[in-house]
Amino acid sequence: MLKALNCQLDEDLSPLVRFLRSRGVVHRVVEEGGMQVVWVVDEAAAQIVRDAYAQGPQALADSPAPQRPPSEAAQFWRQAHRLIPVTLAVLAITAVVALLTGLGSDAGGIVMFTFTPLEASGHLAAQPDMTQWWRLITPIFLHFGIMHLAFNALWYWELGRRIEMRSGGLWLLGLTLLIGVVSNTAQWLWSGSSLFGGLSGVLYGLLGYCWVYQKLAPNVFFDLPRGVIIMMLAWLVLCMTGLITLLGFGAIANAAHVSGFVAGCAIGAVAGTLQRLR
């Protein structure tokens, strides 16, 4: 500690103390030898104390409090709409669809987003209607229950923002649409005109993309913890065994998961190889 200032015992140092606290200057005021002594940690702080004391109590009282710089988290959220607009847009659309469909409980809302349209008989059509081409992608926004929605939204946030901050929004949008079409089509070919939906096929595609790309062209954005990769792949295998369905958690779109993962790995292999060659 360094002695910065000596003052008379009857002198009011409260304006100085308030000023130092507002500026974050570490200090201590003690009584020594019949005097008030201000101690600080270094010479820079001591100079601040001396300069402030020289201004006088009234000047210190009138001095405006400094604005604290926003935290990194606050700065990120203020800029999120510019940094990760596609990630936020996909999550927003997913939330809106969840409201429109009552999280999968409103049949009237659900049929607006199914892979095949509803026939006059009240059943889903056996074949896609290419005049309603948007249905090739809309099932990714369907979710059945709050846990289904929360799990998928969390992982899209985690993976989507990594890709968008590394490669840009258009690249993430292209990946999402392409993997979505691949995974939805694969699930329809596997299960026929049945009801399915969810972002999980896209998620496994983004996971595969990041994983393979990172193997070929390492970067800080795609450096996922090994435990995350193992957990997601273990969950994929567990779902394929049928145990999750037997436990009453509902039908799992395994074809969408597997096809999305394979597509993501393939795209990651091409993109990672090209990046490595550069």
**What pLDDT, on the 0 to 100 scale, is given for residue 1?**
64
Using DSSP, state whether 87 is helix, strand or coil.
helix
Answer positive or negative: Cα dihedral of 240, 244, 246, 252.
negative
**H/E segment holding residue 109:** helix 107-110
Q: What is the DSSP string of 213-272?
A: HHHHS--STT---HHHHHHHHHHHHHHHTTHHHHTTS----HHHHHHHHHHHHHHHHHHH
200: annotated active-site residue: yes
User: Do both 140 and 259 map to the same domain?
Assistant: yes
User: Do both 192 and 126 map to the same domain?
Assistant: yes
User: Do both 174 and 232 map to the same domain?
Assistant: yes
Residue-by-residue pLDDT tens, the chain, 278 positions: 678 888 888 888 888 888 888 777 888 888 888 888 888 888 888 888 888 888 877 666 666 655 565 666 666 677 777 889 999 999 999 999 999 999 988 888 999 999 999 888 888 888 998 999 999 999 999 999 999 999 999 999 999 999 999 999 999 999 999 999 999 999 999 988 788 999 999 999 999 999 999 999 998 889 888 888 999 999 888 888 877 767 666 678 899 999 999 999 999 999 999 999 98
Q: Which of 27, 143, 148, 257 is catalytic?
A: 257
- Looking at the structure of the chain, the number of domains it has is 2
Q: Which of 167, 183, 200, 259 is catalytic?
A: 200
0.85 cut: is pTM over it? no
User: Do both 40 and 133 map to the same domain?
Assistant: no
Check which CATH number belongs to the domain holding 10 and give it.
3.30.70.2080
In a domain? residue 114: yes
Q: What is the DSSP string of 162-186?
A: HHHHHH-HHHHHHHHHHHHHHHHHH
Domain assignment of residue 185, given as a range: 72-277
- Per residue, the 3-state secondary structure of 20-49, as one string, reads HHHCCCCEEEEEECCEEEEEECCHHHHHHH
Check which CATH number belongs to the domain holding 151 and give it.
1.20.1540.10
User: Do both 112 and 19 map to the same domain?
Assistant: no
**Ramachandran angles phi, psi of 88, nearest 5°:** -65, -40
257: annotated active-site residue: yes
Closest-CA residue to 155 (of 206, 94, 92, 113): 206
Place of tokens 């901050």: 165
